Structure 1
């Protein structure tokens, strides 16, 4: 008995040991398996989890607003109803068709021009295929299918669907096709607008009530750009793409790498394009938790969205509207004054800026097509014209700084005849002997001719008529270098996506052409370049960058008032002309004489005004061509100036190309005087209001 008890006692620990050993083996296997999962397959499993469990979608937000310098809204966001579709992962064509058929009960897509007429043959064939899938698939034999990939098989089947089979759809079916066409554009977990700018309140309500049977569909609000001031400077404000267009194809990678979706609307022209990064805002980011089958089981907002920052422009819309009115009225008046002579007069352009800061106060372009007139402010940046005598300030300064003339040097204004070149003279035969300042006052062409000749190495005075002039072609670049210091022939640096630098004529070995250049009848410049040029003279030789932007503001929390200042636009001095200040003073005095002394070419229009304006008048011969054939010889009438003379606060440039030759209606002066009057009248009115508020 004693031995049996002892034997049992020795067997019990052995069984426990066996049990412990089995448990140990099991834990070892588990640990090894865990190691395999974490070390060998961990990354693959994590990718599977990330791919199937959590996805983040970005919801577009309204763009920033645009204000004028007085904080009037000039570009706003107009809210509107919107029907969107956000497909789950793994959604198939059959699923989208089912949604389209259900959605067609609650919204209408019967606008033929907008929806039905845009349906393609392929849209209709794809619909027919889904409704007749078995029959369609049988049109491709197994032997044919063996040699084709899936896409090729599908396209071959579509090709075999006849026109007769897709020609009898009812209007209701066509609307379903139109809806499905929009649904097909959607990317997984990315909202796609199905219908927005013409959704009725009834449609919005019906869709909202039936969201439970419309997977992926939502009834929400969207926005479109709104322009409270109408079309006045819309060509400068620019446009944005529609959601159908999405991001610009030519810049697709640029946008995609910056967090855009393909159906995002972006600025495609003007200030909307230039300040896209500011106006776009921060998208709301929503994280979706999904099953492996793509079913959404949870959502979480991980980034709160905020609309774009606001732009405050330097443009004064009250003044801008008045300038637009003036330019349009004077363009009409000029056309009507001599209908036959002015039949080629199509445009009138004007730029007003602060010469000390570069702030643009008004930019106007008016154009006509027959008797129809419209705004085309972009032409002040896009179109370049021969400027005429308004560039003579740069010519005199080039002569003084290069040393080919000295301050006060005098020449007799008598026509010059170079061998092989027509006789060249001034507009008047009674100018007589003038110095540099009176040459500006009386607009002497001959004085500028002698500067050009001397720049080219021809120093004979008076020039012996009929002789051949000595000429060094390096004078071309030398003269242009001086002009470019004022912004003539180079980019102004304006905050805009595009600006022309004008046309530079051939630098030929002909002194006569440089003489034409010296009086503004060879190279061409934009109105914006001319405004920068005269501003540089007004600003004692400092060339500042013209700009539309005054401030960038954070979006307002209330949605009514402007938010805090994010950034202010400072004055950007591009260069100081490499010319002695005393020479600039002489040109400034010459400009004063043009407007303020008897005999000045602008005296009759400006001498009686209180604001003490100064400037330079211009007329350039210009030819009109069509299909390489010269139709007529016309004139460009131009004007530049600034005021007041002592402390300039506004500078302007005006050009009206292709006016009637020798026309008596001086559109340049009519626009100039009215713009100056409007500016200083508005200033006086506002100063009076401020004083009354203080009292």
Structure 2
């Protein structure tokens, strides 16, 4: 075998190859260093602000802070709506690993009910994203302690302290104050229409009824914000910066809480309402509708059982009868119609008629009865008010006609809102030819006008409208509309609210005011007056008018005294009055449903209220 020849190595070629490889490696390393440096430059300089914000977003949480709701006071400085500290169990859903498991564990640990869980699910659907959802409101100290001992087991769950609305006088002021409750979809749409979404970022409750609803934007205040440093689990480590919220305005109402409680005590089990005002400025001193309910039930979410009890109650406690109850005004409007008759010279102070107990038009078989079957004998306009003679007003209404009645009574505010500071108000109905044609597609008949002459037929009014109308008579046509808000409290100083005035009622003969007011005083003062018995031996002078509103028609040949009448068809008892007669300080409307005669049922309550206001209360002060 031949011996193989050894190849001679080319050191120059190998050296060149090695050099090229080294250069490539160095270039590659330099390129990597350049890329790294470029990325570092981009991250630390070019995109510094962006990544700083992201980093802070993981470390710092900006949360909205709800403002404290304004306090509500009565006219004497007594708190009637306040904020109480409470503890709520809240869940930040995006921080919870397994929501179903967490809810099950919390339910067992804190003995939560199925209602609590169901309410949480409803709130969760309505709540804005990334906002905590309340699982349990108003937790007891025991439950707070139990959860605190186990909080480390529940990521995203915390107990938060907050202020909750509280109404110390409960059902006594429900229909005045209303209540606050959880924000729902309709409320969110309303807030959006105000352009105030950001201002409600941390707010869970909103005014739903009464003063709370009417003055929501003033009571709510302005939202604040806080920057919090948090750990990896979202728990707050410290507060970095705080922009404090601005509390809502504190309101002072015209309501006198002692008078309000007294009025409540007078109604007892009767269905109806009482409204008391100062006729000198229209300020509402008391407004109570019976039956009522406790508004605190709604603040943290009313249970289905409690709500069903309220809406199924045949006495309708949710209805504010003072501003929503629409009743035939009956004889309460006879003083107003007397003014109209005098103004249009259909009657004079000397006009007299023979009341035989009924009224009948020539060639018409139908008769319209007086409430006193034997009649009142010879009466003039003044006595017809004092004894509440229907026949006189049948005749006067016939002569006036519905067009004149409609035009003049509209000046007193009948058929329109009084603009009292409650959104729940009804406007009642002041009938006219046009209204009947639009409503029933029927013409207006003479009989319709005659019924309107005693406040019956299609005419309906709310108690607050009737009180507004009597205040207009007291002030000789000047109109101070009913008003609940008295002032705004700032730094313990009450800044008065502007009065709610309307266009005055003009009369051609000012002495007509005096005649009508004298007749109302004699209704109380003289023995034959329909309110004399109720006000006998009063230590002050007063004026008023009784009313008994009939709720069904009696046949021409029937005697109402012989009929068996269902409770819900019995007459409404009403009284409208003021005192003292020469310098009125108080005006009162009492409206009782299905209670019977106004003089025997409503007037005594008015007497008690006036006695309290003009006697007992001021004697104590």
TM over 0.5: yes
Shift of 1:373: 8.4
2-structure distance, mates of 1:43, 1:517:
78
TM-score by length of 1: 0.68
Q: Which residue of 2 aligns with 1:675?
A: 609
What residue number does 1:399 align with? Answer: 341
SS in 1 for 2:360: coil
> Aligned partners of 1:391 and 1:105: how far apart in 2?
61
Whether the 8 Å contact between 1:349 and 1:379 is mirrored in structure 2 is yes
Partner of 2:436: none
| Distance in 2 of aligned mates of 1:670 and 1:408 | 32
SS, match of residue 368 in structure 2: coil
In the other structure, the counterpart of 2:460 is: 524
Distance 1:348 1:83, change over 3 A: closer
Name whichever of 536-545 and 601-610 sits farther off.
601-610
**CA–CA distance in 1 between the matches of 2:192 and 2:238?**
31
Q: Distance in 2 between matches of 1:217 and 1:348?
A: 48
Question: Post-superposition shift, 1:361?
Answer: 1.2
Q: 1:542 aligns with which of 478, 481, 485?
A: 478
Query: After alignment, is 409-418 or 49-58 more displaced?
Result: 49-58
- After TM superposition, the structure 1 stretch with the greater mean CA deviation from structure 2, 287-296 or 51-60, is 287-296
Equivalent of 1:204 in 121, 131, 144: 144
* Residue of structure 1 equivalent to 2:218: 278
Aligned length: 537
Instruction: Name the SS for the 1:64 alignment partner.
Output: coil
**Counterpart in the other structure of 1:463:** none
How far apart are the structure 2 equivalents of 1:256 and 1:613?
A: 51
Q: Which residue of 2 aligns with 1:361?
A: 285
- Measured after TM superposition, the shift of residue 491 of structure 1 is 1.0
- TM-score, normalization by structure 2: 0.75
How far does residue 320 in structure 1 lie from its aligned partner after superposition?
Answer: 1.1
Q: CA RMSD in A?
A: 4.0
Secondary structure, in 3 states, of the residue corresponding to 2:382? helix
Contact in 1 for aligned 2:488/2:494 (Cα 8 Å): yes
Deviation at 1:83, TM superposition (A): 2.5
Residue in structure 1 matched with residue 350 of structure 2 by the alignment: 408
Q: Which residues of structure 2 form unaligned runs of 5+?
A: 1-33, 293-309, 434-442, 555-564
Residue 574 in structure 1 maps to residue 502 in structure 2: yes
Give the aligned partner of residue 439 of structure 1. 384
**Contact persistence 1:527–1:654 (CA under 8 A):** yes
Structure 1 residues 232, 301: CA separation in 2 closer, same or farther (over 3 Å shift)?
same
Secondary structure in structure 2 of the residue aligned to 1:248: helix
8 Å CA contact 1:640, 1:653 repeated in 2: yes
| 2:74/2:257 contact within 8 Å kept | yes
Trace 1:178-327 onto structure 2 (pairs within 5 A): 187=128, 190-197=131-138, 199-205=139-145, 207-208=147-148, 214-242=154-182, 245=184, 248-254=187-193, 257-258=196-197, 259-261=199-201, 264-287=204-227, 300-327=240-267
Give how far 1:232 is off: 1.1
Give 1:624 deviation, angstroms: 9.4
Please point out which of 389, 412, 418 is paired with 1:486.
412
| 1:478 counterpart SS class | helix
Superposed CA deviations along residues 572-614 of structure 1, whole A, max 9, x for unmatched, are 2212112142211111111111111232222222253121011
Per-residue CA distance 1:378-408 (angstroms, 9 max, x = gap):
1111111112111001101111222323343
Per-residue displacement from partner, 1:391-433 (whole Å, max 9, x unpaired)? 0011011112223233433333343312446212433334233
Q: What is aligned with 2:321?
A: 379
Deviation at residue 546 of structure 1 after TM alignment = 0.7
Partner residue in 1 for 2:541:
612
Deviations 1:657-683 (A, max 9, x none): 3235xx699211221222222222234
Partner Cα distance (2:327, 2:450) in 1? 17
**CA displacement at 1:282 relative to structure 2:** 2.8
Q: 1:569 to 1:480 in 2, by over 3 A?
A: same
5+ long unaligned stretches in structure 1: 1-25, 120-177, 332-346, 457-475, 555-562, 690-695
User: Who is 1:111 aligned against?
Assistant: 113
Q: 1:220 to 1:436 in 2, by over 3 A?
A: same
Deviations 1:118-156 (A, max 9, x none): 39xxxxxxxxxxxxxxxxxxxxxxxxxxxxxxxxxxxxx
Which of these residues, 424, 428, 435, is aligned with residue 502 of structure 1?
428
| C-alpha spacing 1:181/1:412, structure 2 compared with 1 (3 Å) | closer
Contact 1:643 1:649 in 2 (8 A): yes
Q: Residues of 2 paired with 1:447 and 1:282: CA distance?
A: 60
